[in-house]
A and B are shown apart, each in its own frame.
With several copies, the nearest count.
Chain A
């Protein structure tokens, strides 16, 4: 019975601020003094647990699926490319990857791997932005500091820039220290979502954008003002779990959303911009690398459309006594389907897991086929090249490789093995396989003698 009376107490307790926090408090420990349950979950993102297609063990993807080595030949991703793990590791994993230790990278990398608001703002103030560090981030001055400093730090070398930060993403990056409301703080996201709002892509999962579009458009779309709380529960993740590139000399992190979030709209953006990530070492194609487009794929799925946010599945509520809070141990929902899924889908754990497995297994099979076709095409181009094919003869096959590989990689680099939008992922892979095989046909039709 002591249990009962304790819980009645708990139910009545309000949050006590046991330590002061403000816009300069990057250390999560300080926040943890007032919000111990959230902090406890947060630090437990160091846990390592595998699921069939995901989980948190940083295995080498290149060994797991050797087709990737062929696909990324000539690019840093062919050196070291791992399964991602919990937020606790983001900064150290970035510092230690051979993509950084063996290749030169810019400070831009930091936008998504650190608690960087204070670093950005300090750099902004140093570069002449108005106001002071304790101004609210979303105030006019705060924003000016942020955006200025962001561009400064992007342009630095990685080694220089990384010295300016200490923590992985932290409370301050997601929460207003005063109200504790969730907020979005990543400059590239603020720019990107504005561009998306102006595009014509349909976004039924973001009613606030659809509202803004119908409105006067006298000011730009601003998620921190316009988005609903439920939308914010996804946008806060969409700050980092997205495809990106580094634009221009200044290496400004940029989200290619001017035409929309779908795979071919992003491709069009890159085509129009004349963007290429690297020249493929074997085939000479101008290739693109996709990176973690979780937000984009989720956007095409039925969950997004039904208003189900990233946090609903990845930060489900947890109950301790009468208190309910968001689980800050962000990880695979398959490790806790009862809390993540069963509030909406009242089935047994086994049934829920089996539904996910059915979807993921189908995706995996198609993904294998799409990657196989892409690698077949790469091999075919290389052979033709070695046999003396001209650039003119290889133009069409190379263009098809770019398109096919972009699609296969889009699903491979996305981290839910198709779950976030099963039919859309399948559609993308069907296109990938078609384009890659057409590329092989184009090579054969070019009729190079062996």
Chain B
């Protein structure tokens, strides 16, 4: 997967701009971002994510699940091309800080469709060999064209629910 700047990355770019702008305008936002260890988004240490206790369940699940030894949060949740990577991190960082501060998000938290796309691409990236016959789009151009890995392997990352 070495796409040029994808539509997703462009979205990320907009979000980064928004984050910087709003961050500068609203001091409290900046405070949240650092106090809640928002900058740790830029690290690959999974502990960075549990700085928010709402991530605790996923973190605990990951520690026990099969991919603990193979992949950290960012291996799955962030696109691996250099640009997409920081775009996504910034966008997530901003969105999560905002949600956490305002406490206005719905629980259980659930992955967004566009973020599941990122994860899917990462599954395929690591397992390209194995799934080369299954993963290429066979029916291109129609929404929902992949057979999502997580439909069958939903628990490899965070274990079974509860």
Contacts and interface: CB of A to CB of B under 8 A. Distances in A.
B10 to A, nearest CB: 25
A11 B155 contact: no
B129 A11 contact: yes
Contacts of A322: 53, 129-130
Given A8-B129, A207-B144, A228-B144, A1 B134 contact: no
Interface of A: 1, 3-5, 7-8, 10-15, 179-182, 207, 225-230, 232-233, 307-308, 312, 317, 319, 322-326, 338-339, 342-344, 346
6 contacts: A14-B132, A229-B139, A322-B130, A323-B132, A338-B106, A346-B155
B129 A7 contact: yes
A4 B32 contact: yes
B133 A323 contact: yes
Contacts of B28: 1
B134 A317 contact: yes
A308 B161 CA distance: 11
Contacts of A10: 129
Interface residues of B, number: 37
A8 B36 CA distance: 10
B144 A1 contact: no
A414 to B, nearest CB: 25
Interface string B122-151: 000000111111100011001111110001
Given A338-B108, A343-B161, A344-B162, A230 B147 contact: yes
A323 B161 contact: no
A4 B36 CA distance: 7
Interface string B32-64: 100110000000000000000100000000000
Contact of A346 (B31, B131, B138, B160): B160
A179 to B, nearest CB: 6
Contacts of A312: 151-152, 162
Contact of A343 (B32, B35, B152): B152
Given A11-B53, A179-B138, A1 B129 contact: no
B70 interface: no
Given A4-B32, A343-B152, A346-B160, A11 B130 contact: yes
Given A338-B106, A339-B107, A344 B161 contact: yes
A82 B20 CA distance: 60
Contacts of B36: 4
A181 B139 contact: yes
Nearest to B154: A344
A324 B139 contact: no
Nearest to B135: A324
B147 A229 contact: yes
B155 to A, nearest CB: 7
B107 A232 contact: no
Nearest to A342: B108
B53 A343 contact: no
A4 B107 contact: no
A7 to B, nearest CB: 6
A202 B100 CA distance: 39
Contact of A338 (B31, B107, B139, B142): B107
A4 B152 contact: no
Interface string B97-130: 0001111001110100000000000000000111
A1 B108 contact: no
Contacts of A227: 142
Contacts of B151: 307-308, 312, 344
Contacts of A343: 108, 152-153, 161-162
A324 B135 CA distance: 10
